[in-house]
Amino acid sequence: MKICISVGQGGHLDQSLQIKQAFKGHEKFFVTAFSKITSSLKNDEDVYFVREHFGQNSSSNIIKTFLLILYQIYTIPHSIYILLKMNPDVIICNGGPASLTLTYLGKILGINIIYLESLTRIDDISLRAKLIYPISDLFLVQWKSLEKKYEKAKYWGKVI
């Protein structure tokens, strides 16, 4: 099985690196936005970088939303290239700027989508999770309370 792991930086990346042992024996590759933190992946992993998310430091929610939409449009060609070149069987994501475009394009191409919500999401799921939830084939949460709140959600324990 070929696995695409789409991650952001910081905690999202740490969480994904902790679960990568579960994929031992399978071909895997990472897709993430390039940053100082994620650049270290290239030393040990097969990784594809998309442009760093722009507009994240804006103080206006309207500007952030507009720039996020532009970013998603901007990443479409690169995401298509990665998916067609690597042809994964499944995309596992836990957020990050590139995951939204990648998962929707993956779904169109018939790729299974697994979303792993962050451990920090206790009371409700993130906006990105809410957008990926409808197309996910498996939606994992790390708190039992969220499993009860979302019909498709599954609780298999905590990753970290």
Q: What is the pTM of this model?
A: 0.83
Structure tokens at 77: 């060609």
Write the CB contacts of 157 (distance below 8 Å, at least 6 apart in sequence).
142
Q: Between 109 and 52, name the one with better pLDDT.
A: 109
Q: Is 39 part of any domain?
A: yes
* Residue numbers of the domain that contains 47: 2-155
pLDDT in tens, 20-43: 677 788 998 988 877 666 666 666
Domain membership of residue 160 (yes or no) is no
Instruction: Give tens-digit pLDDT for 73-106.
Output: 888 898 999 999 999 999 999 877 778 889 999 9
Residue 138 has pLDDT above 90, yes or no: yes
Does 109 score more than 70 pLDDT?
A: yes
Residue 103 falls inside a structural domain: yes
Which residues, 6 or more positions from 70, have their beta carbon under 8 angstroms from its beta carbon?
54, 55
- Structural domains in the chain (count): 1
In a domain, 48, yes or no: yes
Evaluate whether residue 19 is within a structural domain: yes
Cα angle 126, 42, 20; round to 5: 55
pLDDT tens-digit readout, 48-57:
887 665 555 5
pLDDT in tens, 41-50: 666 668 888 7
- Strands, E assignment, the chain: 2-7, 27-33, 47-50, 90-93, 112-116, 138-141, 153-155
Domain for residue 7, yes or no? yes
Report the CATH number that the domain containing residue 104 is assigned in CATH. Answer: 3.40.50.2000
In whole angstroms, what separates CA 107 from the centre of its chain?
Answer: 13
Backbone angles phi, psi at 136, to 5 degrees: -75, 145
Residue 108 falls inside a structural domain: yes
Say if 114 falls within a structural domain: yes
Average pLDDT value over all residues in the chain: 80
SS3 12: helix
**Considering only 44-53, 62-71, 112-121, 127-136, which range has the smallest mean pLDDT?**
44-53
